C-alpha cells in the first residue's frame, strides 16, 4: 500500500517540517507496518512558484493507494486542493489530528 501524506508546510522551518513528517510516518506505520510512504514533501526548491510545487505533489498523489490528511490541513490551500483531488478521483483518505 502506497501512502501519501498531506500536511501544511507554509511558514514552517525545515526542521519543523521534518519533525512533524516523522511523527505522521510513525503513526501511519503503527497502523500499516508494511506501508510505503511516498515522499510528498516537495520542498526541494523554495524559489519555485507554489503552484509548480503543488503540481509535483499531485503527480505523487496519483501514485497513492490512500492519502492521509494531517495536522491543520484544512487551513492550507495546497492540502485543500489535494483533498479535492482524492475525492474527485476516488482515492481513499483518512485524517490525523482532525482531517477526512
What would the pLDDT profile of 9-51 be if each residue is shown by its tens digit? 888 888 999 999 999 999 999 999 999 999 988 765 667 788 9
- What domain count does the chain have? 1
Question: What is the CATH number for 16?
Answer: 3.40.50.10400
**Residue count of the chain:** 100
Q: Could you report the per-residue pLDDT of 56-87, keeping only the tens digit for each?
A: 999 999 999 999 999 999 999 999 999 999 99
C-alpha cell at 59: 503527480
Distance CA 27, CA 33 (A): 10
User: Rounded CA gap, 98 and 59, in Å?
Assistant: 25
pTM of the model: 0.90
Domain that holds residue 14: 2-96
pLDDT band at 93; cut points 50, 70, 90: very high
Amino acid at each position: 500500500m502506497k501512502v501519501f501524506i498531506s500536511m501544511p508546510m507554509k511558514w514552517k522551518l525545515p526542521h519543523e517540517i521534518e519533525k512533524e513528517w516523522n511523527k505522521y510516518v510513525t503513526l501511519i506505520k503503527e497502523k500499516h507496518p508494511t506501508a510505503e510512504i511516498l515522499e510528498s514533501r516537495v520542498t526541494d526548491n523554495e524559489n519555485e512558484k507554489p503552484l509548480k510545487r503543488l503540481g509535483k505533489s499531485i503527480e505523487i498523489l496519483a501514485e497513492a493507494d490512500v492519502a492521509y490528511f494531517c495536522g491543520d490541513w484544512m487551513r492550507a490551500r495546497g492540502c485543500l486542493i489535494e483533498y479535492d483531488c482524492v475525492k474527485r478521483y476516488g482515492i481513499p483518505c483518512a485524517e490525523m489530528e482532525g482531517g477526512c
